[in-house]
A and B are shown apart, each in its own frame.
Chain A
Amino acid sequence: MADEIILLDFWPSMFGMRVRLALAEKGLKYEYKEEDLRNKSPLLLEMNPVHKKIPVLIHNGKPICESLIIVQYIDEVWHDKSPLLPSDPYQRAQARFWADYVDKKLYELGRKIWSTKGEEQETAKKEFIECLKLLEGELGDKPYFGGEKIGFVDVALVTFSCWFHAYESFGNFSIEAECPKLIAWTKRCMEKESVSSSLEDPHKVHGFVMGMKKKLGIE
Protein backbone atom coordinates (compact mmCIF):
# COMPACT_ATOMS: atom_id res chain seq x y z
CA MET A 1 0.00 0.00 0.00
CA ALA A 2 1.37 3.39 -0.95
CA ASP A 3 2.25 5.96 1.71
CA GLU A 4 -0.19 8.81 2.08
CA ILE A 5 1.69 12.05 2.67
CA ILE A 6 0.01 15.41 3.21
CA LEU A 7 1.86 18.67 3.87
CA LEU A 8 0.03 21.56 5.55
CA ASP A 9 2.01 24.64 4.58
CA PHE A 10 1.98 28.37 3.80
CA TRP A 11 3.73 29.31 0.58
CA PRO A 12 6.21 31.99 1.83
CA SER A 13 7.27 30.01 4.92
CA MET A 14 10.97 29.17 4.85
CA PHE A 15 10.12 26.43 7.38
CA GLY A 16 7.52 24.86 5.10
CA MET A 17 10.01 25.03 2.22
CA ARG A 18 12.43 22.87 4.23
CA VAL A 19 9.87 20.07 4.24
CA ARG A 20 9.10 20.53 0.52
CA LEU A 21 12.84 20.28 -0.15
CA ALA A 22 13.31 17.14 1.97
CA LEU A 23 10.36 15.45 0.25
CA ALA A 24 11.77 16.44 -3.16
CA GLU A 25 15.22 15.11 -2.28
CA LYS A 26 13.63 11.77 -1.43
CA GLY A 27 11.50 11.79 -4.59
CA LEU A 28 8.29 11.48 -2.58
CA LYS A 29 4.80 12.24 -3.86
CA TYR A 30 2.56 14.19 -1.51
CA GLU A 31 -0.54 16.34 -1.34
CA TYR A 32 0.20 20.01 -0.67
CA LYS A 33 -2.47 21.90 1.27
CA GLU A 34 -2.14 25.68 1.45
CA GLU A 35 -3.25 27.12 4.79
CA ASP A 36 -4.71 30.59 5.27
CA LEU A 37 -3.08 31.51 8.57
CA ARG A 38 -5.80 34.05 9.34
CA ASN A 39 -8.37 31.28 8.97
CA LYS A 40 -6.73 28.01 9.99
CA SER A 41 -8.35 24.81 8.77
CA PRO A 42 -9.95 22.32 11.19
CA LEU A 43 -7.36 19.83 9.94
CA LEU A 44 -4.45 22.06 10.99
CA LEU A 45 -6.00 22.70 14.41
CA GLU A 46 -6.56 18.96 14.85
CA MET A 47 -3.09 17.94 13.64
CA ASN A 48 -1.13 20.62 15.54
CA PRO A 49 -3.24 21.51 18.57
CA VAL A 50 -0.17 22.54 20.57
CA HIS A 51 1.19 25.25 18.27
CA LYS A 52 -1.45 25.58 15.53
CA LYS A 53 1.39 26.30 13.09
CA ILE A 54 2.65 25.08 9.76
CA PRO A 55 4.41 23.07 8.48
CA VAL A 56 2.70 19.86 9.53
CA LEU A 57 3.47 16.59 7.77
CA ILE A 58 0.71 14.00 7.95
CA HIS A 59 2.06 10.53 7.15
CA ASN A 60 -0.58 7.82 6.89
CA GLY A 61 -2.82 9.93 9.14
CA LYS A 62 -0.19 10.66 11.81
CA PRO A 63 1.01 14.26 12.22
CA ILE A 64 4.58 15.43 12.72
CA CYS A 65 5.23 19.12 13.58
CA GLU A 66 8.26 21.45 13.70
CA SER A 67 10.19 21.68 10.42
CA LEU A 68 13.56 20.24 11.52
CA ILE A 69 11.82 17.42 13.38
CA ILE A 70 9.82 16.68 10.22
CA VAL A 71 12.99 16.71 8.07
CA GLN A 72 14.72 14.27 10.44
CA TYR A 73 11.62 12.05 10.40
CA ILE A 74 11.60 12.02 6.59
CA ASP A 75 15.32 11.22 6.58
CA GLU A 76 14.85 8.32 9.03
CA VAL A 77 11.80 6.76 7.36
CA TRP A 78 13.11 7.05 3.79
CA HIS A 79 16.68 6.37 4.77
CA ASP A 80 17.68 4.53 1.59
CA LYS A 81 17.53 7.55 -0.70
CA SER A 82 19.59 10.76 -0.55
CA PRO A 83 20.47 10.68 3.16
CA LEU A 84 20.44 14.18 4.66
CA LEU A 85 22.18 13.43 7.94
CA PRO A 86 25.64 11.79 7.88
CA SER A 87 26.11 8.37 9.48
CA ASP A 88 28.91 9.30 11.88
CA PRO A 89 27.52 10.42 15.30
CA TYR A 90 29.93 13.37 15.62
CA GLN A 91 29.14 14.62 12.11
CA ARG A 92 25.44 14.21 12.88
CA ALA A 93 25.87 16.26 16.07
CA GLN A 94 27.61 19.02 14.11
CA ALA A 95 24.81 19.02 11.50
CA ARG A 96 22.13 19.19 14.20
CA PHE A 97 24.04 21.98 15.96
CA TRP A 98 24.25 24.17 12.88
CA ALA A 99 20.65 23.56 11.85
CA ASP A 100 19.62 24.54 15.40
CA TYR A 101 21.85 27.64 15.10
CA VAL A 102 19.98 28.69 11.95
CA ASP A 103 16.69 28.19 13.81
CA LYS A 104 17.77 30.16 16.88
CA LYS A 105 19.14 33.15 14.99
CA LEU A 106 18.03 33.83 11.45
CA TYR A 107 14.23 34.09 11.60
CA GLU A 108 14.10 36.63 14.42
CA LEU A 109 16.94 38.73 13.02
CA GLY A 110 15.41 38.64 9.55
CA ARG A 111 12.07 39.71 10.97
CA LYS A 112 13.70 42.64 12.75
CA ILE A 113 15.41 43.67 9.52
CA TRP A 114 12.13 44.07 7.60
CA SER A 115 9.95 45.27 10.46
CA THR A 116 12.08 47.80 12.34
CA LYS A 117 13.98 51.01 11.63
CA GLY A 118 16.90 53.02 12.96
CA GLU A 119 19.21 51.56 15.56
CA GLU A 120 17.16 48.40 16.11
CA GLN A 121 17.35 47.61 12.40
CA GLU A 122 21.07 48.40 12.20
CA THR A 123 21.80 46.08 15.11
CA ALA A 124 19.74 43.31 13.53
CA LYS A 125 21.54 43.72 10.19
CA LYS A 126 24.94 43.57 11.87
CA GLU A 127 24.06 40.44 13.85
CA PHE A 128 22.48 38.83 10.80
CA ILE A 129 25.66 39.27 8.77
CA GLU A 130 27.75 37.96 11.69
CA CYS A 131 25.61 34.81 11.76
CA LEU A 132 25.94 34.31 8.02
CA LYS A 133 29.71 34.79 8.25
CA LEU A 134 29.90 32.13 10.96
CA LEU A 135 27.91 29.81 8.72
CA GLU A 136 30.24 30.66 5.82
CA GLY A 137 33.13 29.58 8.03
CA GLU A 138 31.39 26.29 8.72
CA LEU A 139 30.85 25.76 4.97
CA GLY A 140 34.53 26.34 4.32
CA ASP A 141 35.66 25.00 0.96
CA LYS A 142 32.97 22.34 0.76
CA PRO A 143 30.46 22.63 -2.09
CA TYR A 144 27.63 22.04 0.40
CA PHE A 145 27.34 21.95 4.18
CA GLY A 146 26.67 18.24 3.71
CA GLY A 147 29.96 17.84 1.81
CA GLU A 148 29.68 16.63 -1.77
CA LYS A 149 25.88 16.51 -1.60
CA ILE A 150 23.26 18.63 0.10
CA GLY A 151 22.55 17.65 3.68
CA PHE A 152 20.61 18.63 6.77
CA VAL A 153 22.20 22.04 7.25
CA ASP A 154 21.78 22.91 3.57
CA VAL A 155 18.06 22.11 3.87
CA ALA A 156 17.79 24.14 7.09
CA LEU A 157 19.48 27.23 5.65
CA VAL A 158 18.91 27.44 1.90
CA THR A 159 15.19 28.16 2.26
CA PHE A 160 16.08 31.50 3.86
CA SER A 161 17.86 32.49 0.65
CA CYS A 162 14.62 33.33 -1.17
CA TRP A 163 13.99 35.84 1.64
CA PHE A 164 17.39 37.54 1.17
CA HIS A 165 16.11 39.89 -1.53
CA ALA A 166 13.36 41.12 0.83
CA TYR A 167 15.84 41.54 3.71
CA GLU A 168 18.28 43.42 1.46
CA SER A 169 15.60 45.66 0.02
CA PHE A 170 13.95 46.63 3.29
CA GLY A 171 17.23 46.65 5.20
CA ASN A 172 19.07 48.56 2.51
CA PHE A 173 22.17 46.38 2.41
CA SER A 174 23.81 43.72 0.27
CA ILE A 175 24.24 40.22 1.64
CA GLU A 176 26.41 39.21 -1.33
CA ALA A 177 28.85 42.04 -0.62
CA GLU A 178 29.38 40.73 2.91
CA CYS A 179 29.06 36.98 2.33
CA PRO A 180 29.99 36.16 -1.27
CA LYS A 181 30.83 32.51 -0.53
CA LEU A 182 27.42 31.95 1.03
CA ILE A 183 25.63 33.51 -1.95
CA ALA A 184 27.73 31.32 -4.25
CA TRP A 185 26.53 28.35 -2.20
CA THR A 186 22.87 29.42 -2.59
CA LYS A 187 23.33 29.60 -6.37
CA ARG A 188 24.97 26.18 -6.38
CA CYS A 189 22.01 24.77 -4.44
CA MET A 190 19.51 26.41 -6.79
CA GLU A 191 21.03 24.49 -9.70
CA LYS A 192 19.43 21.41 -8.19
CA GLU A 193 15.87 20.71 -9.28
CA SER A 194 14.82 19.73 -5.74
CA VAL A 195 15.90 23.14 -4.41
CA SER A 196 14.64 25.33 -7.25
CA SER A 197 11.25 23.62 -7.20
CA SER A 198 10.90 23.99 -3.41
CA LEU A 199 11.91 27.62 -2.93
CA GLU A 200 9.68 30.54 -3.77
CA ASP A 201 10.47 33.40 -6.17
CA PRO A 202 12.30 36.11 -4.16
CA HIS A 203 10.17 38.80 -5.83
CA LYS A 204 6.97 37.09 -4.71
CA VAL A 205 8.41 36.89 -1.18
CA HIS A 206 9.30 40.59 -1.38
CA GLY A 207 5.70 41.34 -2.34
CA PHE A 208 4.46 39.25 0.57
CA VAL A 209 6.68 41.12 3.05
CA MET A 210 5.54 44.44 1.59
CA GLY A 211 1.96 43.32 2.23
CA MET A 212 2.84 42.33 5.81
CA LYS A 213 4.43 45.71 6.47
CA LYS A 214 1.28 47.49 5.22
CA LYS A 215 -0.93 45.27 7.37
CA LEU A 216 1.22 45.90 10.44
CA GLY A 217 1.36 49.61 9.70
CA ILE A 218 5.14 49.67 9.24
CA GLU A 219 6.62 52.01 6.67
Chain B
Amino acid sequence: MAEEVKLFRTWSSPFALRIVWALKIKGIEYETIFEDLSDKSPSLLQYNPAHKKIPVLVHSGKPIAESYVILEYIDETWKETPLLPEDPYERAMARFWAKFGDDKVLTSIVWGVFIKEGKEQEEAMVEAMKNLWFLEEELRGKKFFGGERIGFVDLALGWLANLINILEDVAGQKIVDEDKFPLLSAWMKDFANSPIIKDNWPPRVQMIAKFRALRDAKLAAAASSK
Protein backbone atom coordinates (compact mmCIF):
# COMPACT_ATOMS: atom_id res chain seq x y z
CA MET B 1 0.00 0.00 0.00
CA ALA B 2 1.54 3.28 -1.07
CA GLU B 3 1.38 5.89 1.65
CA GLU B 4 1.38 9.34 0.20
CA VAL B 5 4.15 11.46 1.69
CA LYS B 6 4.57 15.08 0.64
CA LEU B 7 7.14 17.60 1.83
CA PHE B 8 6.54 21.33 1.53
CA ARG B 9 9.90 23.07 1.51
CA THR B 10 12.02 25.83 0.02
CA TRP B 11 15.27 25.31 -1.87
CA SER B 12 17.41 26.82 0.88
CA SER B 13 15.73 26.20 4.24
CA PRO B 14 18.04 24.32 6.62
CA PHE B 15 14.96 23.26 8.61
CA ALA B 16 13.40 21.57 5.57
CA LEU B 17 16.75 19.96 4.69
CA ARG B 18 16.60 18.02 7.96
CA ILE B 19 13.41 16.38 6.74
CA VAL B 20 14.89 15.60 3.31
CA TRP B 21 17.79 13.87 5.03
CA ALA B 22 15.54 11.88 7.39
CA LEU B 23 13.24 10.72 4.59
CA LYS B 24 16.14 9.67 2.37
CA ILE B 25 18.09 7.99 5.19
CA LYS B 26 15.01 5.88 5.92
CA GLY B 27 14.39 5.23 2.22
CA ILE B 28 10.92 6.83 2.26
CA GLU B 29 9.46 7.84 -1.11
CA TYR B 30 7.96 11.30 -1.12
CA GLU B 31 6.82 14.17 -3.31
CA THR B 32 8.42 17.59 -2.98
CA ILE B 33 6.46 20.83 -3.21
CA PHE B 34 8.68 23.91 -3.39
CA GLU B 35 7.14 26.99 -1.84
CA ASP B 36 7.78 30.62 -2.66
CA LEU B 37 7.50 32.24 0.76
CA SER B 38 6.58 35.59 -0.75
CA ASP B 39 3.56 33.90 -2.36
CA LYS B 40 2.49 31.03 -0.14
CA SER B 41 0.28 28.37 -1.67
CA PRO B 42 -3.28 27.82 -0.39
CA SER B 43 -2.17 24.29 0.51
CA LEU B 44 0.58 25.53 2.80
CA LEU B 45 -1.77 27.98 4.52
CA GLN B 46 -4.30 25.20 4.97
CA TYR B 47 -1.74 22.69 6.30
CA ASN B 48 0.05 25.10 8.68
CA PRO B 49 -2.38 27.87 9.61
CA ALA B 50 -0.70 28.49 12.99
CA HIS B 51 2.73 29.46 11.62
CA LYS B 52 2.31 29.48 7.80
CA LYS B 53 5.87 28.15 7.52
CA ILE B 54 7.78 25.30 5.93
CA PRO B 55 8.71 22.54 6.35
CA VAL B 56 5.37 20.74 6.50
CA LEU B 57 5.14 16.98 6.04
CA VAL B 58 1.82 15.62 4.83
CA HIS B 59 1.37 11.89 5.40
CA SER B 60 -1.75 10.31 3.93
CA GLY B 61 -3.37 13.75 3.91
CA LYS B 62 -2.46 14.60 7.53
CA PRO B 63 -0.09 17.55 8.07
CA ILE B 64 2.73 17.81 10.58
CA ALA B 65 4.67 21.07 11.08
CA GLU B 66 7.85 22.13 12.97
CA SER B 67 11.01 20.34 11.89
CA TYR B 68 11.80 18.55 15.19
CA VAL B 69 8.16 17.46 15.56
CA ILE B 70 8.31 16.10 12.00
CA LEU B 71 11.62 14.30 12.66
CA GLU B 72 10.20 12.56 15.74
CA TYR B 73 7.06 11.62 13.80
CA ILE B 74 9.16 10.14 10.98
CA ASP B 75 11.28 8.23 13.49
CA GLU B 76 8.20 6.78 15.23
CA THR B 77 6.36 5.91 12.02
CA TRP B 78 9.23 4.41 9.98
CA LYS B 79 11.28 2.47 12.48
CA GLU B 80 14.23 1.42 10.30
CA THR B 81 17.52 3.32 10.79
CA PRO B 82 16.40 4.99 14.04
CA LEU B 83 17.40 8.62 14.54
CA LEU B 84 16.74 8.97 18.27
CA PRO B 85 18.34 6.64 20.82
CA GLU B 86 16.19 4.17 22.79
CA ASP B 87 17.26 5.14 26.29
CA PRO B 88 15.05 7.93 27.74
CA TYR B 89 18.03 9.86 29.18
CA GLU B 90 19.91 9.73 25.88
CA ARG B 91 16.72 10.85 24.11
CA ALA B 92 16.38 13.79 26.47
CA MET B 93 20.01 14.76 25.77
CA ALA B 94 19.42 14.53 22.00
CA ARG B 95 16.36 16.78 22.26
CA PHE B 96 18.34 19.19 24.44
CA TRP B 97 21.21 19.59 21.96
CA ALA B 98 18.85 19.90 19.00
CA LYS B 99 16.99 22.72 20.77
CA PHE B 100 20.29 24.35 21.77
CA GLY B 101 21.33 24.26 18.13
CA ASP B 102 18.32 26.29 16.98
CA ASP B 103 17.82 28.54 20.00
CA LYS B 104 21.45 29.45 20.58
CA VAL B 105 23.92 28.32 17.89
CA LEU B 106 21.89 29.30 14.82
CA THR B 107 20.70 32.54 16.42
CA SER B 108 24.12 33.67 17.62
CA ILE B 109 25.84 32.86 14.32
CA VAL B 110 23.29 33.97 11.70
CA TRP B 111 21.42 36.72 13.58
CA GLY B 112 24.44 37.65 15.68
CA VAL B 113 27.82 37.42 13.96
CA PHE B 114 26.78 37.21 10.32
CA ILE B 115 24.55 40.27 10.01
CA LYS B 116 26.81 42.55 12.04
CA GLU B 117 30.18 44.23 11.68
CA GLY B 118 32.84 45.97 13.73
CA LYS B 119 32.47 46.05 17.50
CA GLU B 120 28.94 44.62 17.43
CA GLN B 121 30.21 41.64 15.47
CA GLU B 122 33.08 41.13 17.93
CA GLU B 123 30.61 41.01 20.82
CA ALA B 124 28.33 38.62 18.93
CA MET B 125 31.37 36.44 18.18
CA VAL B 126 32.06 35.96 21.90
CA GLU B 127 28.55 34.54 22.37
CA ALA B 128 28.83 32.37 19.24
CA MET B 129 32.20 30.96 20.36
CA LYS B 130 30.75 30.03 23.77
CA ASN B 131 27.94 28.11 22.06
CA LEU B 132 30.26 26.36 19.60
CA TRP B 133 32.52 25.34 22.46
CA PHE B 134 29.63 23.41 24.05
CA LEU B 135 29.23 21.50 20.76
CA GLU B 136 32.97 20.81 20.62
CA GLU B 137 32.79 19.33 24.15
CA GLU B 138 29.74 17.24 23.24
CA LEU B 139 31.69 15.62 20.38
CA ARG B 140 34.48 14.39 22.65
CA GLY B 141 34.97 10.63 22.07
CA LYS B 142 32.42 10.53 19.26
CA LYS B 143 32.59 10.68 15.48
CA PHE B 144 29.03 11.97 15.14
CA PHE B 145 26.75 13.54 17.76
CA GLY B 146 24.75 10.32 17.41
CA GLY B 147 27.84 8.20 18.13
CA GLU B 148 29.14 5.87 15.44
CA ARG B 149 26.49 6.89 12.97
CA ILE B 150 24.40 9.94 12.13
CA GLY B 151 21.47 10.58 14.47
CA PHE B 152 18.90 13.17 15.46
CA VAL B 153 21.39 15.76 16.70
CA ASP B 154 23.53 15.43 13.56
CA LEU B 155 20.49 16.19 11.42
CA ALA B 156 19.53 19.05 13.75
CA LEU B 157 22.99 20.66 13.58
CA GLY B 158 23.79 19.54 10.04
CA TRP B 159 23.18 23.02 8.58
CA LEU B 160 26.52 24.03 10.19
CA ALA B 161 28.43 21.66 7.93
CA ASN B 162 27.48 23.61 4.80
CA LEU B 163 26.32 27.06 5.85
CA ILE B 164 29.31 28.06 8.03
CA ASN B 165 31.65 28.10 5.05
CA ILE B 166 29.18 30.20 3.05
CA LEU B 167 28.74 32.69 5.91
CA GLU B 168 32.51 32.91 6.36
CA ASP B 169 32.99 33.67 2.65
CA VAL B 170 30.28 36.33 2.54
CA ALA B 171 31.15 38.06 5.83
CA GLY B 172 34.92 37.65 5.34
CA GLN B 173 35.10 36.39 8.88
CA LYS B 174 36.28 33.03 10.23
CA ILE B 175 33.64 31.47 12.47
CA VAL B 176 34.70 27.85 13.04
CA ASP B 177 38.48 27.93 13.32
CA GLU B 178 39.95 24.45 12.87
CA ASP B 179 42.56 25.12 15.55
CA LYS B 180 39.97 26.25 18.10
CA PHE B 181 37.36 23.63 17.16
CA PRO B 182 39.17 20.54 15.80
CA LEU B 183 36.38 18.08 16.63
CA LEU B 184 33.60 20.27 15.27
CA SER B 185 35.62 20.96 12.11
CA ALA B 186 36.19 17.24 11.58
CA TRP B 187 32.51 16.53 12.18
CA MET B 188 31.50 19.22 9.67
CA LYS B 189 33.66 17.53 7.00
CA ASP B 190 32.50 14.00 7.88
CA PHE B 191 28.85 14.99 7.95
CA ALA B 192 28.99 17.08 4.75
CA ASN B 193 30.57 14.19 2.87
CA SER B 194 28.36 11.42 4.24
CA PRO B 195 26.22 9.39 1.83
CA ILE B 196 22.88 11.06 1.10
CA ILE B 197 23.95 14.26 2.90
CA LYS B 198 26.57 15.09 0.26
CA ASP B 199 24.04 14.78 -2.59
CA ASN B 200 21.47 17.11 -1.11
CA TRP B 201 23.14 20.42 -0.32
CA PRO B 202 21.51 23.49 -1.90
CA PRO B 203 23.48 25.05 -4.82
CA ARG B 204 26.43 27.02 -3.46
CA VAL B 205 26.30 29.92 -5.93
CA GLN B 206 22.66 30.63 -5.06
CA MET B 207 23.38 30.32 -1.33
CA ILE B 208 26.24 32.85 -1.57
CA ALA B 209 23.96 35.26 -3.44
CA LYS B 210 21.13 34.80 -0.96
CA PHE B 211 23.27 35.35 2.11
CA ARG B 212 25.17 38.24 0.56
CA ALA B 213 21.81 39.94 -0.05
CA LEU B 214 20.72 39.19 3.53
CA ARG B 215 23.90 40.64 5.07
CA ASP B 216 23.80 43.73 2.84
CA ALA B 217 20.16 44.38 3.72
CA LYS B 218 20.71 43.96 7.48
CA LEU B 219 23.84 46.14 7.54
CA ALA B 220 22.06 48.85 5.53
CA ALA B 221 19.07 48.75 7.89
CA ALA B 222 21.35 49.01 10.92
CA ALA B 223 23.26 51.91 9.40
CA SER B 224 20.12 53.85 8.51
CA SER B 225 18.66 53.46 11.99
CA LYS B 226 21.70 55.08 13.63
Contacts and interface: CB of A to CB of B under 8 A. Distances in A.
A73 B89 contact: yes
Contact of B69 (A62, A70, A76, A97): A97
Nearest to A64: B92
A196 to B, nearest CB: 28
Contacts of B73: 89-90, 92-93
Contacts of A194: none
- What is the size category of the interface that chain B forms with chain A? 20 to 34
Interface string A30-71: 000000000000000000001000000001001011100110
A76 B76 contact: no
A89 B99 contact: no
Interface in B67-105: 68-70, 72-73, 76-77, 88-89, 91-92, 95-96, 99-100, 104
B100 A50 contact: yes
A94 B47 CA distance: 12
A134 interface: yes
A93 B72 contact: yes
Contacts of A65: 96
B119 interface: no
Nearest to A131: B50
A96 interface: yes
A72 B92 contact: yes
Which applies to chain B's interface (DSSP): helix, strand, loop or mixed? helix
A69 B100 contact: no
A135 B99 CA distance: 23
A100 interface: yes
A97 B65 contact: yes
A97 B70 CA distance: 9
Contact of A92 (B59, B76, B91): B76
B44 to A, nearest CB: 15
Nearest to B59: A90
B95 A66 contact: yes
A101 interface: yes
A77 interface: yes
A129 to B, nearest CB: 15
Given A66-B99, A92-B72, A134-B50, A97 B66 contact: yes
A100 B96 CA distance: 14
Given A65-B96, A69-B95, A100 B69 contact: yes
Nearest to A95: B69
Contact of A62 (B50, B76, B89): B89
Contacts of A101: 50-51
B62 interface: yes
Nearest to A104: B51
Contacts of A134: 50
Given A50-B134, A76-B88, A96 B72 contact: yes
Contact of A69 (B77, B92, B104): B92
B166 interface: no
Interface of A: 50, 59, 62, 64-66, 69-70, 72-73, 76-77, 89-90, 92-94, 96-97, 100-101, 134
27 contacts: A50-B134, A64-B92, A65-B96, A66-B96, A69-B95, A69-B99, A72-B91, A72-B92, A72-B95, A73-B88, A73-B89, A73-B91, A73-B92, A76-B88, A89-B73, A90-B64, A90-B73, A92-B73, A93-B69, A94-B64, A96-B66, A96-B69, A97-B66, A100-B66, A100-B68, A100-B69, A101-B50
